[in-house]
Amino acid sequence: MLSTAPAPQSILHEIFGYDQFRGPQAAIVDHVVAGGDALVLMPTGGGKSLCYQIPAIARQRAGHGVTVVVSPLIALMHDQVGALHEAGVEAEFLNSTLSGEQANAVEKRMLRGEITLLYAAPERVTTPRFLAQLDSLYERGKLSLFAIDEAHCVSQWGHDFRPEYRALTVLHERYASVPRIALTATADAITREDILERLQLENARQFISSFDRPNIRYTIVEKKDATTQLLRFIEGEHEGEAGIVYCQSRKRVEDIAQTLSGQGIRALPYHAGLDGQVRQANQDRFLREDGIVMVATIAFGMGIDKPDVRFVAHLDMPKNIEGYYQETGRAGRDGLPAAAWMAYGLQDVVNQRRMIDESPAGEEFKQVMRGKLDALLALAEATDCRRVRLLGYFGEESTPCGNCDNCLHPPDIWDGTDAARKLLSTIYRVQQQSGISFGAGHVMDILRGKKTEKVAQFGHERLTTFGIGAEFSEAQLRGVLRQLIATGALSVDGQAFNTLKLTDGSRAVLKGETAVQLRESVSAPAESRRRKSATKSRPARHQRPGCEEAGSLRGRGAARRQRVATA
Ligand code: ADP
Ligand code: ZN
């Protein structure tokens, strides 16, 4: 006989020691306790675990049996099971850290109905052996609920695709009457659709929380000397505080960790290439000690529940907004002020773009990835509220937040349409004249009228575009190039020394049909300012309309420099 389930509120209070449900938790729990399917989108730290743990306990007590929790990471399982044990809940995990004997014991207990929550990796759940055990439970009405954690792993559009998740459709097909709850902290519209379709949750009720993390202040800066910028950021605003610095490559992780350590910052490296024990030791220190800065690749972070991470810095641009938001979400889980800081540059765009172009994936996939990269780049180049854009990306409307760099220090904007046209026509003429393409540096030299060796070697000072962009700083032109590459009006040939090539999308910009709006480079280096004044003596015939703009830019230099100082 099934008894009635205890009130979720009393489970929350008695087992977890909390007074109230947070946000949509109560509605989710009620829905799942009653046997409904659910898709839960909640930001990191929002309290997803209770959304299936409380139903699992309630349903177990009502005689429905065991809840199987699919989780992609061993560390995550261990944390959760450990915490449940402390709360006095019968929870176990099945994964490769158990000996055969231990695993057998867990399975036996599960079959006897002694376990409330069983955590397992997706590849384990879908083995014939495990399915046979689930069959046995199912036949006896003792299979209560499936919870699919980190559900975005099922989608190739998500930032953490795990093919094993695809096989989870077997759960629905084989155990049709068992409710399922899928949870994730990250899903834009396309990923969300994919989760619903792949896990056959089209009829599930969707619970979509606000993704806003108001205590996190977002700042995105243009990369100049990234290491120095990072040091300034940490020493100036987060001295002695715990933080995470994300880098693109293992080598860079090592270098930056060393540099920070050299400056007296307690920094540790973390990446998949490190010895397992070292990695574990570093992670433990980060969790236990105060004020450690973890320098890491994206291998670090999932399942790390450290409440007082005060900043997350990205030294290289991630692939997309989902990844960025997930990673920055690790800051300030305790609700106290925290910072998300990113430095990005032309090279990042070029690298990411090339990785997409050169990946063996199909064209449709590449198109989606390019679109996602563009969205992130648009966020980086944005002149309006970062949070409005971030939330907008996840389908949420909001008003300017007052707690991001753009809200706090509105950036100057300049119209890069003319510069974009000049850049594209230079690339066109160079290609026409020399029959080969060149990289960004050379193209900018031509446009700015620099008589370099290479310019002389190819006779590029004879091009009609030589020097017609003398009024633009290199930083400004780089900004224009980033936009052009990101929007597909220009492509980078990774097979040929990163040379720039015109695309079908170039025409609209060349004709002036597409406006190119840019944030003014906030930290033009002294070097480029000097070069700019050196070009003042250039003959008047090179001064085209754009120079008026350049004059007004110079006038705003003081304000710009002041912002650099506070950045
Ligand atoms: P997520 O999985 O969404 O990142 P967790 O489930 O790990 O979040 O919860 C984040 C933190 O919030 C945990 O420390 C958890 O104990 C706490 N928490 C969750 N729900 C509540 C609640 N209703 N009241 C108080 N604390 C809560
Ligand atoms: Zn804002």
Nearest atom, ligand 1, residue 42 CA:
3
For residue 23, the model assigns a pLDDT of 87
Range(s) of the chain covered by CATH 3.40.50.300: 8-210, 214-344+534-567
Is pLDDT at 361 greater than 60 in this prediction?
Answer: yes
Q: Which CATH fold topology does 345-381+410-531 show? A: Arc Repressor Mutant, subunit A (1.10.10)
For residue 195, the model assigns a pLDDT of 93
For residue 333, the model assigns a pLDDT of 87
Show the ligand 1 pocket: residues with CB < 6 angstroms.
18, 20-22, 25, 42, 44-50, 185, 305
For residue 533, the model assigns a pLDDT of 37
CB crowding 66-78: b at 16 or more within 10 Å, else e: bbbbbbbbeebbb
Instruction: Write out pLDDT tens, residues 119-163.
Output: 999 999 999 999 999 999 999 999 999 999 999 999 887 677 888
The ligand whose atoms approach the alpha carbon of 44 most closely is 1
For residue 374, the model assigns a pLDDT of 82
Is pLDDT at 524 greater than 60 in this prediction?
Answer: no
Residue 255 neighbours by CB distance under 10 Å: 15
Q: Which residues contact 430 (CB under 8 A, 6 or more apart)?
A: 437, 438, 442, 443, 446, 458, 460, 463
Is pLDDT at 512 greater than 70 in this prediction?
Answer: yes
Most confident of 345-354, 392-401, 460-469: 460-469
Nearest atom, ligand 1, residue 149 CA:
2
Instruction: Write out pLDDT tens, residues 476-507.
Output: 898 888 888 777 788 877 666 678 889 888 99
CA distances in angstroms from 409 to 218, 359, 459, listed in the order given: 12, 39, 44
Residue appearing with tokens 């015939």 = 541
Q: Which CATH fold topology does 214-344+534-567 show? A: Rossmann fold (3.40.50)
Q: Are 229 and 245 in contact (CB under 8 A)?
A: no
pTM, two decimals, is 0.71
Report which protein residue has its CA nearest ligand 1's atom 19.
47
Report which protein residue has its CA nearest ligand 1's atom 15.
47
CA distances in angstroms from 163 to 65, 152, 194, 511, listed in the order given: 29, 11, 13, 45
Mean pLDDT, the chain, rounded, equals 87
Q: Which amino acid is residue 295, in one-letter code?
A: V
Q: How far is the CA of 90 from the centre of ligand 2 (A)?
A: 44
The ligand whose atoms approach the alpha carbon of 76 most closely is 1
For residue 411, the model assigns a pLDDT of 87
| List of long-range contacts for 327-330, beta carbons under 8 Å, 24+ apart | 327/244, 327/246, 327/298, 327/301, 328/213, 328/216, 328/218, 329/43, 329/44, 329/45, 329/185, 329/213, 329/216, 330/44, 330/244, 330/301, 330/304, 330/306
Q: Are 92 and 67 in contact (CB under 8 A)?
A: no
Q: What is the DSSP letter of 438?
A: -
> What is the CATH code of the structural domain delimited by 8-210?
3.40.50.300
For 268, phi and psi rounded to 5 degrees? -130, 145
Name the token pair of 393: 């990306």
Nearest to 185 by CA among 195, 170, 171: 195
Q: How far is CA 376 from the centre of its chain?
A: 9
Nearest atom, ligand 1, residue 305 CA:
7
Report which protein residue has its CA nearest ligand 1's atom 23.
21
Q: Which amino acid is residue 372, in one-letter code?
A: K
Nearest atom, ligand 1, residue 25 CA:
23
Using 50, 70 and 90 to split pLDDT, how confident is the model at 561? very low
Nearest atom, ligand 1, residue 44 CA:
4
Q: Are 448 and 543 in contact (CB under 8 A)?
A: no
Is pLDDT at 447 greater than 80 in this prediction?
Answer: yes
Q: How far is the CA of 404 from the centre of ligand 2 (A)?
A: 4
Q: What is the DSSP letter of 175?
A: -
Helix (H/G/I), strand (E/B), else coil: 218: strand
Using 50, 70 and 90 to split pLDDT, how confident is the model at 209? confident
In order, the DSSP letters of 55-78 are HHHHHHHTT--EEEEE-S-HHHHH
Residue appearing with tokens 């040939």 = 493
The ligand whose atoms approach the alpha carbon of 329 most closely is 1
Neighbours of ion ligand 2 (CB under 5 A): 385, 387, 401, 404, 407
**Strand pairing partners for 78?**
none
CA distances in angstroms from 378 to 110, 323, 521, 541, listed in the order given: 50, 15, 15, 35
Name the token pair of 65: 């049996």
Instruction: Write out pLDDT tens, residues 82-128.
Output: 999 999 999 999 998 999 999 999 999 999 999 999 999 999 999 99
For residue 521, the model assigns a pLDDT of 58
Q: Which of 18, 42, 208, 333 to mutate to test the pocket of ligand 1 (most atoms within 8 A of CB)?
A: 18
Is pLDDT at 252 greater than 60 in this prediction?
Answer: yes
Is pLDDT at 534 greater than 60 in this prediction?
Answer: no
Helix (H/G/I), strand (E/B), else coil: 351: helix
CA distances in angstroms from 263 to 230, 239, 313, listed in the order given: 12, 11, 17
CA distances in angstroms from 318 to 115, 281, 324, 376, 469, listed in the order given: 40, 26, 6, 8, 31
Q: How far is CA 32 from the centre of its chain?
A: 30
Nearest to 145 by CA among 62, 65, 49: 65
Crossing angle of the two packed helices 440-447 and 474-486, in degrees rounded to 10: 130
Instruction: Write out pLDDT tens, residues 364-391.
Output: 888 888 888 888 988 998 888 999 999 9
Nearest to 409 by CA among 193, 219, 141, 203: 219
Name the token pair of 389: 């854009």
